[in-house]
Amino acid sequence: MLQVSFIKEHKDLVIARLEKRNIDATNMIDEVIKLDEDRKSIQTELDNTLAESNALSKEIGNLYKSGEAQKANLLKEKTSLLKESSKELSEKLNDTVEALTELLYKIPNIPNEIVPRGNSEEDNEEIYKEGDVPVLHKNALPHWELAKKYDIIDFELGNKITGAGFPVYKGKGAKLQRALITYFLDKNTAAGYTEYQLPLLINEASGIGTGQLPDKEGQMYHVTEDNLYLIPTAEVPGTNIFRDTLLNESDLPIGITGYTPCFRREAGSYGAHVRGLNRLHQFDKVEIIRVEHPSNSYAALDGMVNHVKDILKELKLPYRILRLCGGDTSFASALTYDFEVFSTAQDRWLEISSVSNFETFQANRLKLRFKNTEGKNELAHTLNGSALALPRVLAGILENYQTEHGILIPDVLQPYTGFSIIN
């Protein structure tokens, strides 16, 4: 959530940056400023009314003590009117604050100055590419056919048990999945991230804190009776560890990692680009999360990008990095880099990680602050990234490592799997 003080001080900048998201925010920003001025005016009037009422109450007490009951009774009539007025002002103030908060929740984060303009993924900028695309044998298959051929993932069984988008991993497929999770966690903890095992359900306050609510409510599975939501990513419970927290500057930076299943109910279109593991309602992901001093957050973002690059180098998968345009950047992010692995069998790029800096946007919602060297409370910066999302990494391994005799296992994963080929 943007700070009102920032909006007022940098009105033109906020409007110009939000144009990168293809949003004309002029009316919303003007309304924010108006509501905040109304709030301050009502608050001042309320404070003055309460102060006058308190002063009269003291005067009434003194009059009673001095035996001037008649004068005291006249003043009591005035205090009754002031109390009624203060009640009305309090209700008006609450309504104004609520309207202001609801409006602020609707305004996305402003993109960083280096975020390119654009409407969709077509306008994202490729900034890096590495790895050789393997030359596959003439009978190469997409991963959903390989999964069936080697009986390692059963999409039909998942459909029977739950529905489309809930695959069942079997045998060496399940072990490869577990190997990837452990490998990712080991890489993250070796890089200094503390591992957490996190809840898979969150409350409404947690969803609001990281920006999933109210923006993405329709994309989340909702347990209505308890008003809880299945997590769309470990980012949500992980970042909410620090909700309503005042840190010391010496506590920063903080880095955590965690593995969770993730749940997303948004419907996908039909076609080969969403077949198999390409788009799921339930999938596994290992997340990295950072809480940083504002002066260091972009250096930390670069470090997270390099960390994911190192993992993909070890897996020996061809990949590229995109800087997302304004129209494709998520609601809460100021700057996002997407990693994509090239699927040789599908002849297309598959997104496998997003690494983002949210600056103070989430921290303002979360009330996540630190006490700086001057003793003042300051909003921290939050960042997160996938390290990594498993379905498309697994798809890339199955397709790019396939041979006529089976699917080879990347060298770095063999100590985790205990086998070197699926055949």
Report the alpha-carbon distance of residue 28 to residue 20 in Å, rounded. Answer: 16
Residue 267: the pLDDT is 52
CATH architecture of 4-106: Orthogonal Bundle (1.10)
Q: Which fold has domain 121-422?
A: BirA Bifunctional Protein; domain 2 (3.30.930)
**DSSP per-residue letters across 222-257:** EETTTTEEE-SSTHHHHHGGGTTEEEEGGG--EEEE
Structure tokens at 415: 């100590």
391 closest CA partner among 129, 193, 176, 96 = 176
Residue 217: the pLDDT is 78
Q: What is the DSSP letter of 421?
A: E
User: Which residues, including other chains, have CB under 8 Å from residue 81's CB and lie 6 or more apart?
Assistant: none
By CB atoms closer than 10 A (0-12, 13-18, 19+), residue 69 is exposed
Report the alpha-carbon distance of residue 335 to residue 148 in Å, rounded. Answer: 39
For the chain, domain boundaries: 4-106, 121-422
Equal fold, 4-106 vs 121-422: no
Starting at the edge strand found earlier in the chain, the sheet holding 194-195 runs 125-130, 319-323, 335-343, 348-359, 381-389, 282-292, 254-263, 194-195
- CA 115-361-262 angle, 5° bins: 90
Cα Rg of the chain (Å, integer): 27
Supply φ then ψ for residue 105, to 5 degrees: -65, -25
Q: Are the C-beta atoms of 363 and 384 separated by less than 8 Å? A: no
Query: Which is it for the CA torsion 41, 44, 48, 50, positive or negative?
Result: positive
- CB atoms < 10 A from the CB of 354, how many? 21
Question: Do strands 368-371 and 245-248 pair parallel, antiparallel, or not at all (unpaired)?
Answer: parallel
Q: Which residues pair with 170 in a beta bridge?
A: none
Residue 270: the pLDDT is 47
The pLDDT tens digits of the residues spanning 52-92 come to 999 998 998 888 888 888 888 888 888 889 999 999 999 99
The pLDDT tens digits of the residues spanning 92-142 come to 999 999 999 999 999 999 999 999 999 999 999 999 999 999 999 999 999
Structure tokens at 19: 């144009």
- By 3-state DSSP, what share of the chain in percent is helix, strand and coil, each rounded to 5? 50, 20, 30
Low-confidence ranges of the chain (pLDDT < 50): 269-270
